[in-house]
Amino acid sequence: MQERLEHDSMGTVAVPADKLWGAQTQRSKEHFPIGVGLEPMPTEIIAAFAVLKKAAAITNHRLQPDRMPQEKCDAIASACEEIRSGQWADQFPLVVWQTGSGTHTNMNVNEVVAHLAAQRLKQSVHPNDDVNQSQSSNDTFPTAMHIAATLIAEDRLLPSVERCVETLRRLEQENAGIIKAGRTHLMDAAPIAFSQEISGWRSSLERDARMLQLALEPMYELALGGTAVGTGLNAPAGFAEGAAAEIARLTGKPFVTASNKFHALTSLDEMVFLHGAVKALAADSMKIANDVRWLVSGPNNGLGEIRIPANEPGSSIMPGKVNPTQCEALTMVAVQVMGNDAAVGFAASQGNFELNVFLPVCAYNVLQSLRLLADALDSFTQNCLAGLTADQERMADTLQRSFMTVTVLNPYIGYENAARVVQKAQAERITLKEACVALHLLTPERFDALYRPEQMV
């Protein structure tokens, strides 16, 4: 393998000749062989860095053109756009498990951008003095986290939730008028319209979407401009505001500079708040998926009240078996999100003095949760909910066999007498009507007039 020599403030390092990174990236690559190939720094973080580096160059040129001349700004911006598009993905080899400030990834981006820009200019571009001008890893990594998480949440997760909501809204309309047994504590309960049950699922997701949108508001505040400890050392006046405005222009999102950079560098409360909303969505997704697999269970020896698409064989030994696999995938993702929430919370609690040094692990877990839930909800919607149908005959049968429909008689015979009717019907395996008549509580004609389960919803 051919190599070239790169240097940094600590000396000279041999780097593969065909790579665009420099000495600091190579040092990290050699010193942190943790999860290599399995847990690289998320691509969304790299893309977010490309956005903020371009924004920084443009802002630096406007505020101090002597230090950032137009041609150098253009070369840096062009390199950043290529990175943002994924063109140089193989030039970012570093893993999540590195320095807790994310400095190695910041320098990885600086070095690659500097190399690409130098190729265009045919002159030297310095990763620190030029690409990292007016910045520090301590303000760039939190900024990249906010950009990346906001983009995934707004552009991927929220649309996935809305597609699921629209499908549920259609199912409500299609199943209007179908009455089925309700269940509480996994036991028979008063009747409910199937459309009402579906509306509960829909409303849960709509509320989750609103909470996500609320949690995104503080994510729009960016740490960029705080530099090393929040004081803005070595950044010109107006840099923080200008860079945030440029990031907003580049992304189409309403990013602004954080009002307090000392908070922005050391606290991850915005990430905790966002992930809390994601966890709420995961909890409701778990509930909905579990409801679906309970309702489809059997189908002959379970509830069997609905049918879902038969997407693939469910067993390697039992022919004809079909399982609620989309439900299982979504619930596994929900479990992962809930586990991630613990990691995010612990990471956020580890801010010491002027910096939190658990940034990469926080970013890794938040972005994974956003990504997984977006994909899982889309798969569940397309491959399960979209083809869900009610087995009306089965629903009518389970409703007829539910003794909890006796509740409608409470105003006429009283709670305790209604309980006696249920107990007698269960013990003697007779109908509610037969038990009522046998206990001399209602005549057959009066029972028929009062007992209307379809009117109980």
Which pair of structure tokens corresponds to residue 336?
């992962």
Catalytic residue among 85, 124, 315, 349: 315
CB 327 within 8 A of CB 289: yes
Helix (H) or strand (E) holding 446: helix 444-450
Strand partners, 13: 6
CB within 8 Å of 243: residues ≥ 6 apart: 52, 55, 56, 59, 134, 222, 224, 225, 257
Q: How many of the other CB atoms lie within 10 Å of CB of 200?
A: 14
Q: Which residue has the tokens 């990346």?
A: 148
CB 288 within 8 A of CB 201: yes
Bond preceding residue 218 cis, omega within 30 of 0: no
CB 195 within 8 A of CB 175: yes
3-state secondary structure of 346: helix
Q: How many of the other CB atoms lie within 10 Å of CB of 65?
A: 12
Strand partners, 8: 11
Q: Which residue has the tokens 């950043």?
A: 80
Pick the closest to residue 157 from 437, 327, 368, 314 (CA basis).
Answer: 368
C-alpha span between 376 and 318 (Å, rounded):
27
- 134 is a catalytic site residue: no
Catalytic residue among 185, 259, 316, 440: 185
- 101 is a catalytic site residue: no
3-state secondary structure of 42: coil
Q: Which residue has the tokens 């991927």?
A: 156
CB within 8 Å of 215: residues ≥ 6 apart: 270, 273, 274, 276, 277
Positions annotated as catalytic residues are 185, 315
